[in-house]
Amino acid sequence: MYDFRKFFIDGAWVAPAGRREHDVINPATEESVGKILLGAPEDVDAAVKAARRAFESFSQTSREEKIALFERIIKVFQSNMPRLAKAISDEMGAPMKLALNAQAGSGLGHFATTLAVLKDFEFEEQLGNTRITREPIGVCGLITPWNWPINQIGCKVAPALAAGCTVVLKPSEIAPLSAHVFAEILEEAGVPKGVFNMVDGDGPGVGEAISRHPDIDMVSFTGSTRAGVLVAKAAADTVKRVSQELGGKSANIILEDADLNAAIKTGVVSMMANTGQSCNAPSRMLVPAKLYDEAVKIAKAVAEKPVVGDPKADSTTMGPVANKTQFDKIQRLLQKGVEEGATVVIGGPGRPAGLDKGYFIKPTIFSNVNNEMTIAREEIFGPVLVMIPYKSEEEAVAIANDTVYGLSGYVYSGNTDNARRIARKLRAGMVHINGAPTDINAPFGGYKQSGNGREWGREGLKEFLETKAMLGYGT
């Protein structure tokens, strides 16, 4: 049982003003695995004051000092990887191998990548008689989700520190355990007091207080589009910068000249990874009508392979979804798909056989789907793939772009030039060509209601910087 009923503020673990106790539920067992306290606006105030005081000196930290700090963080991070993986598995249900290699590993990867960017990033440049400098934006409020908890903490905290900002982090109250381990890592690495602060809480109690706070200069939020709208509205009165990474309903266009087996297998495996709880998952598979029946058969065979069960078991490849609210939403949408006339190829409503406890979902594929169905429009955020036929490339592109979202896209073709041509037509912040994996150096973010701003790598660092022009500076 984890006991994390303190907040990390001004370099110390302190008892919060907010005293509402909150159980962290293991989604595989539906039982409490730890306790935290939900904070109040007073806790946000204390954290912001600490961050504001620390900003005066930390913003002036040299590149060499920040590099040394990052090297210490990475070293301590590496030694805590097993602890992080266990906490992630306990709080959101990821199988242990995924929790260690992908979940905890991605957080470490963001620090390593940001360190490499920091070493040669040009914070100043001369433009004629004008000196242009890029300076830390200030105190940053970071609000992170439960589906990739350490990945999202790492991709925000790392560039914020590299820029010279100070931060107040609110991790998801559903998956806060790994965030507490992360705070201990930064404490052990010697991050100066007040530079990193963490306050547990829910959206109304702490998230809104962060968004509204007049002494916070920037909010970086990852979560649902609905919650992102609330953050932006709360932040508007103080005209702070708001960076958002929100929902997605990404299309995966399989072109007629693709290796059908490879394309379908890659698409299904990508969709089912992390139990489908990835905002950039390829949840709509678009297939040429003449190849549709064959593609459905291939997809069904691939979706039969995941082993759903106890995240601690070596044989398990798919754990539960992270919480009851999400489980109930997915079950509602699965039933909606049936009611609207889609065909359940595999899976469907209800728990997998033999699992009568835990938030487990059957790996599901729907065929005979059109893009007007609810399951093709709403972000399901579970291991659910919808397969949509198309008659021409123009129709495929139109279907792909017919969504309020624009986070990611996927194109598979036997001809790279064809794939590139279609990729340029997709209204999305990222496009994966022929199964290309995520690139931690590449900018991550979307168009339309998938958010604004970019995270990861060099572009992620830029988000935490203000640009100043000093005219008449001279050469």
Active-site residue, from 140, 155, 165, 279: 279
Convert the pLDDT of each residue in 256-267 to its tens digit. 999 999 999 999
Q: Where in 284-377 does DSSP place strands (E)?
A: 284-288, 343-346, 364-367
Q: 2-246+450-470, superfamily in CATH? A: Aldehyde Dehydrogenase; Chain A, domain 1 (3.40.605.10)
Does the structure show a pLDDT above 90 at 475?
A: no
Residues carrying CATH 3.40.309.10, the chain: 251-448
Local confidence band at 447 (pLDDT 50, 70, 90 cut-offs): very high
Q: Retrieve residue 249's tokens.
A: 């309903």
Q: Which of 173, 208, 245, 463 is catalytic?
A: 245
Average pLDDT over residues 10-31: 96
Q: What is the number of other CB atoms lying within 10 angstroms of the CB of residue 114? A: 29
Mean pLDDT of 384-389: 98
Looking at residue 19, its pLDDT comes to 86
Query: Distance (Å, rounded) from C-alpha 335 to C-alpha 294?
Result: 25
Q: Catalytic residue at 339? A: no
Q: Rounded CA gap, 161 and 177, in Å? A: 22
Q: Are strands 384-390 and 284-288 parallel, antiparallel or unpaired?
A: parallel
Active site residue 135: no
Distance CA 360, CA 339 (A): 22
For the chain, residues classed under CATH 3.40.605.10 are 2-246+450-470
Residue 290 DSSP class? G
Lowest mean pLDDT among 17-21, 28-32, 80-84, 419-423: 17-21
What does the pLDDT average to over 55-72?
A: 98
Q: Which two tokens stand for residue 219?
A: 């909010």
Calpha distance 248→418 (Å, rounded): 24
Give Cα 470 distance to the centre of its chain. Answer: 37
**What number is the average pLDDT over the span 391-408?**
98
Question: Can you name the residues that pair with 9 across neighbouring β-strands?
Answer: 12
Residue 342: burial class (beta carbons within 10 Å; 0-12, 13-18, 19+)? buried
Query: Whole-model pTM?
Result: 0.97
* Homologous superfamily in CATH for domain 251-448: Aldehyde Dehydrogenase; Chain A, domain 2 (3.40.309.10)
8 Å CB contact between 152 and 92: no
Strand order across the 196-198 sheet: 12-14, 7-9, 196-198, 166-170, 139-143, 218-222, 241-245, 451-452
